[in-house]
Chain A
């Protein structure tokens, strides 16, 4: 009985420089080589490039210094070029003068083990990736929260203005004023109170929009219906501002939207424009199917876009650039519409028209 030759493990012996001396039958059958072709070749020639580096930088030093190396996870190259996963152990034998004389190597197959390891590794990578995503999402949520807080506190002055007016005129009335003046002051107070009410409504809507749960439940809605409903919602403020709404021919298109959110978003923009435009200005609404998606334009030529805002219009509006106050004074309505568009994976751009007017371009993918 030839223990070595028939051993279930692969066995080879080499000189210290790796040149192969003896090979057992099992090794030959695994690698598909025959004895003649192997003798004289070196062990490291049976390894792929990475294995050769490992051989020289880890295997050999450990063997020459320690005498034994165990459990190396390697690939052997079969004669057909395929890789054979193995576990290898090696022992260095020295001669009478203690010089390295021979290396004995034994191998066991590791194909199944490699499979298992690969699965484990993949599972681990997936878990790590998920953890990283979660951490990122948490970071983003925290950042968004913080930004929201900053934005809201920056809006304080918007509230203070009408409150200041109310208090101011109230005081004047209390101090006694002529009937004609009284009427004027009361009108101013009513006006300011109205604006304050709008602001409060907007703030409530802003909070609602930010509390919207994602992913959105989208349904198909005709753009015509969407426009009519949004216009209706903004009707009071449009009327207050004397704003005339004209719609270019609405195409027979449908949009995938969360109906309430999208109506709120569009209405908010209309209210914003109404609040800022000169009396009697015209608001033009248009829909088109563009290459980026469905586009809604809200255009007001009479509302001059402040130059310092026009200068910052390079990117679509995002909560980031709004919250960084680079578009200070953009207003809650714009913030609401921006968030609605972001929730829909769309975009909102603020553009300057050729007359120096204002145009909002909402794009749905």
Chain B
């Protein structure tokens, strides 16, 4: 049921499970440039949050998903249904925060946490430089709203593949970044208006925070904040810029994650 609900896919040949959680605005397809680096040594578990990708839309109800906690519960369901013991969790953007909530809910469950460009709170708050004003977020919600019909069409249309990559024509089906427009609107509110700074100290798992240059959504100060408030947080600054290093710089990102996972010296509490 969970497998269908969250469109869970399992790839790879290793024994150690790695769960990948996408963020706002896309689905598990965002990971396709990153996961090849993990297939040989890990058991890669991909899934879609309810309302995105190929997940079961009928499982979405606005009341339940009015908070990230529901998404965190789903993550634990997905892991229980598909991972062995002590999975590694990799989350992008709000997916990372969902992972933190899941880790706090079940301490000791995840072997490691990797947060790609996380932000626990997007709104500026006193000294805390979230990066956005309330008006900015309202503008964003309006912008997403104005664009939702074309994204909905994206879901229905068959895209004839990328003419520059005919070899991808089969693999790259017409489906990526699918989000139901109604869900997209609410998920945006939940993501960009919630404040989960308080969960960070409760995440006892060893956690890697990956920070990009010129990230307008999760700026450097936020990455530093996240690492500083995690009991066992480690910060690595990538050379890649923007908010989606797994798409724009998959090789650098994969290398950074893999080398951190291979490094077993976690005796110090902080990097």
A interface with B by C-beta (< 8 Å): 16-18, 42, 44, 48-58, 60-62, 64-68, 70-75, 92-94, 98, 117
Q: Using known A-B contacts A18-B242, A53-B217, A64-B248, determine if residue A70 contacts B177 with beta carbons closer than 8 Å.
A: no
* Chain A CB within 8 A of B109 CB: no
Taking CB atoms and an 8 Å cut-off, the chain B residues in 149-177 that contact chain A are 150-151, 154, 159, 162-165, 172, 176-177
Most buried by A among B23, B30, B139: B139
* Chain A CB within 8 A of B241 CB: yes
The 3 nearest A-B residue pairs measured at CB: A57-B25, A50-B139, A56-B243
User: Closest chain A residue to B184 by CB distance?
Assistant: A58
6 contacts between A and B (CB under 8 A): A17-B242, A53-B192, A56-B243, A61-B26, A66-B159, A94-B165
Are A72 and B154 in contact (CB-based, < 8 A)?
A: no
Q: Which of B165, B177, B192 contacts A58 (CB 8 A)?
A: B177
Residues of A within 8 A of B244 (CB): 56-57, 60-61, 64
Residues of A within 8 A of B164 (CB): 67, 92-94, 98
How long is the Cα–Cα vector from A58 to B24 in the complex, in angstroms?
8
How long is the Cα–Cα vector from A94 to B144 in the complex, in angstroms?
28
Q: Which of B143, B176, B192 contacts A65 (CB 8 A)?
A: B176
Residues of B within 8 A of A60 (CB): 242-244, 247-248
* Chain A CB within 8 A of B132 CB: yes
How long is the Cα–Cα vector from A51 to B146 in the complex, in angstroms?
12
User: Closest chain A residue to B250 by CB distance?
Assistant: A64
Q: Using known A-B contacts A49-B136, A52-B216, A98-B165, determine if residue A61 contacts B25 with beta carbons closer than 8 Å.
A: yes
How long is the Cα–Cα vector from A49 to B26 in the complex, in angstroms?
19
What string of 1s and 0s marks CB contacts (under 8 Å) between B134-148 and chain A? 001101101110110
How long is the Cα–Cα vector from A37 to B232 in the complex, in angstroms?
44
Residues of B within 8 A of A98 (CB): 164-165
Are A49 and B176 in contact (CB-based, < 8 A)?
A: no
Q: Which of A16, A17, A53, A68 contacts B140 (CB 8 A)?
A: A53
Residues of B within 8 A of A56 (CB): 215-217, 242-244
* Chain A CB within 8 A of B32 CB: yes
Q: Which of B159, B162, B217, B248 contacts A57 (CB 8 A)?
A: B217
Are A58 and B242 in contact (CB-based, < 8 A)?
A: no
Are B176 and A57 in contact (CB-based, < 8 A)?
A: no
Q: Using known A-B contacts A93-B164, A98-B165, determine if residue A61 contacts B247 with beta carbons closer than 8 Å.
A: yes
User: Closest chain B residue to A54 by CB distance?
Assistant: B143
Residues of B within 8 A of A57 (CB): 23-26, 93, 217, 243-244
